[in-house]
Chains A and B, each alone.
Chain A
Amino acid sequence: MRFPKEFKYTEDHEWAKIEGNRVTVGVTDHAQSALGDVVFLELPKVGRQLRRGETFGVVESVKAVSDLFSPVDGKVIEVHSALVDDPSTINRSPHGDGWLIAIEVSGPEACAHLIDASAYEKLIASL
């Protein structure tokens, strides 16, 4: 199980890569492993305003349906639309090519609640 240090995390098993006001979002290695083979993905449109914790999409494996939750407040500025045609990329590269959307936040305080890699790793270990 990988917990890349350069990312922040949520208790809903999303990761966030923070670069200035741009936050790239994906599901964690733990989440993809728990889901199993991902076969379907539904993503939002560019421009949508999201609240922290709001459902922005759906990921489905052969067996299960899972909501995707926004880690932060902000506006969707980029959507990884190509992923919809090959959602299994999420299994192969959850922290890389399997990224889902990018959100523009108002400032660093929008990300203050996110937890770091070691805290997320502890959370997983406690499950």
Chain B
Amino acid sequence: MPKRTALHDEHVRLGGRMVDFGGWDLPVQYTGIIDEHLACRGAAGLFDVSHMGEFLVEGADAEAFLDYAVTNQVSKTVPGQAQYTAMCNRAGGIVDDLVLYRRGKDRFLVVVNAANIDKDFSHLDGLLQAERSRFPGVKLENQSTAYSQIAIQGPKAELILQKLTSTKLSEIKTYRFAEGSVCGSIPALLARTGYTGEDGFEVYCPWSDGPTVWRALLDAGTPSGLKPCGLGARDTLRLEMKYPLYGHELTDETNPIEAGLGWVTKLDKGDFVGKEKIEALKMAGIRRKLVGLELTERGIPRQGYRVMSLDGHTELGVLTSGTQSPSLKKAIGIAYVSNGHAEAETEVAVEIRGTLVRAKIIPTPFLKKKS
């Protein structure tokens, strides 16, 4: 029996089509993926992301421990700041990508992918056990069922969320957050983060308060065009931005350099798990690169399809994600493509059900933001 978020009944009441997603019963859509996608780009979208995992990492050595566990430089963050990072194994493979929220000098909330909660916790706990003498003052706790997480994303997100809180949202910059309250007295972490490419917020509140916050946001936002969005729209929205998704672009076997996460991999900081291997990979030069492509003939690229040379003789790579982009009305995909064929404007083919369909490597994000 799949797990349920606190918002399960809300989804059913709204006509959400429930599917099993990594062991969670969640809506893939309510009215339709395209409709929800465009609502988020044009006004606002409301997402239940309570299935994501939250770990507490605190104590005098919390910062040092996280700097050892993840690829980005945690010591550069200040309280009230969020940071996107990868977490690698000793072979340099990606255990997960995650966002950490620095709530104080010695206190972090680490937010991980739902399907990786158990794996990530064991990984971190294992590191802590092995290196206890280096990081004696660290408490690690899985608090995933303590939080409901609701994302409100889109150009109207701030306007709508502001109706529910006295925290001045305009003062929260991108990848910053504030601790305040919503709907009167519900404590909430209000973060200007997200996974859609739109401005917006992720609201963390106590698990059981999720439905109250969800309903209040729906009521406050519906007149502005806000719509509840399912996992389907979440996927197409992130895909248009070429944001990686664990299990697609990122796996235990992919490294952060080829995955395009070099910008969050700080090889000039101190020792961290996987650093040696990643350094070696970088020195040797990576063999393949994560790129965006667009089909120039009819078809839709999907995960697992092969990227071929135009003549079909040489396999150049493999698709990790693909869809028909609702905003661009084009068939787009993300693929690992071998070096030498990964430059923008390179013409390639995608093998779809045995047929070669022409495609072109293009610069990403696919969707260019109007400023």
Contact = CB atoms under 8 A, between A and B. Distances in A.
Given A37-B32, A37-B33, A63 B232 contact: yes
A65 B17 CA distance: 18
Contact of A62 (B298, B299, B326): B326
B353 A36 contact: no
Contacts of B324: 39-40, 60, 62
Given A60-B300, A62-B232, A62-B324, A37 B353 contact: no
B206 to A, nearest CB: 32
Contacts of B35: 37
Interface in B298-314: 298-300, 302
A39 B35 CA distance: 13
A123 interface: no
B323 A62 contact: yes
Contacts of A37: 32-35
Interface in B95-145: none
Given A62-B232, A62-B236, A62-B324, A36 B32 contact: yes
A62 B33 contact: yes
Interface residues of B, number: 19
Contact of B353 (A39, A58, A61, A62): A58
B334 to A, nearest CB: 15
B71 interface: no
Interface string B219-232: 00000000000001
Interface size class of A (residues with CB under 8 A): 10 to 19
A117 B32 CA distance: 26
Contact of B29 (A36, A39, A40, A65): A36
Interface of B is mostly: mixed
Contacts of B302: 65
Interface string B261-299: 000000000000000000000000000000000000011
A62 to B, nearest CB: 4
B46 interface: no
A3 to B, nearest CB: 19
Interface in A9-52: 36-37, 39-40
A65 B33 CA distance: 15
B300 A36 contact: no
Given A58-B353, A62-B323, A62-B326, A36 B33 contact: yes
A58 B17 CA distance: 23
Contacts of A60: 300, 324
A36 B299 contact: no
Contacts of B326: 62
A65 B319 CA distance: 15
Interface string B1-44: 00000000000000001000000000011001111000000000
A58 B145 CA distance: 41
A81 to B, nearest CB: 13
Contacts of B232: 36, 62-63
A36 B35 CA distance: 11
Contacts of B300: 39-40, 60, 65
Contacts of A65: 300, 302
17 contacts: A36-B17, A36-B232, A37-B32, A37-B33, A37-B34, A40-B298, A40-B300, A40-B331, A60-B300, A61-B33, A62-B236, A62-B323, A62-B324, A62-B326, A63-B28, A63-B323, A65-B300
Given A37-B34, A39-B324, A62-B34, 14 more contacts: A36-B29, A36-B32, A37-B32, A40-B298, A40-B324, A40-B331, A58-B353, A60-B300, A60-B324, A61-B33, A62-B232, A62-B324, A63-B235, A65-B300
Q: Which 3 A-B pairs have the closest CB atoms?
A: A39-B324, A62-B33, A37-B34
